[in-house]
């Protein structure tokens, strides 16, 4: 609601989203390494409902990936939260 505090209803919504993100992350962490590659990220984002063009996908990789171009779960959540706020 924009008040800067996380109420019970908002927490419940956030918790359900994070559980959904974890499910998607686990599904597309194909090698079960605890991180997803740039390719796996594209698949995961599509599963989450985001079909992005190549340039936007590259920007997300640049912003959220480690030097080896892999994203851990924390960065994956940050990426999805940012996408949700944009769309």
Q: Is residue 2 part of a domain?
A: no
DSSP code at position 25: H
Q: Is residue 3 part of a domain?
A: no
Q: Is residue 69 part of a domain?
A: yes
CA 36/CA 1 separation, integer angstroms: 32
**Has residue 31 got a pLDDT over 90?**
no
Rounded average pLDDT over 32-58: 94
Domain count, the chain: 1
CATH of the domain at 66: 1.10.238.10
Taking the chain, what is the end-to-end CA distance rounded to the nearest angstrom? 17
**Has residue 2 got a pLDDT over 90?**
no
**What is the extent of the structural domain holding 64?**
8-86
Segment 53-77, tens digit of pLDDT? 999 999 999 999 999 999 999 999 9
Name the pTM for this structure.
Answer: 0.86
Q: Is residue 1 part of a domain?
A: no
């Amino acid at each position: 609601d924009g008040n800067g505090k996380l109420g019970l209803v908002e927490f419940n919504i956030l918790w359900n989203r994070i559980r959904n993100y974890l499910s998607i992350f686990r599904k597309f962490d194909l090698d079960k390494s605890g991180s997803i590659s740039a390719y796996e990220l594209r698949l995961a984002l599509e599963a989450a409902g985001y079909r992005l063009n190549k340039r936007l996908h590259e920007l997300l990789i640049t912003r959220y990936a480690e030097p080896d171009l892999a994203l851990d779960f924390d960065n994956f959540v940050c990426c999805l939260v940012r996408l949700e706020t944009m769309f």
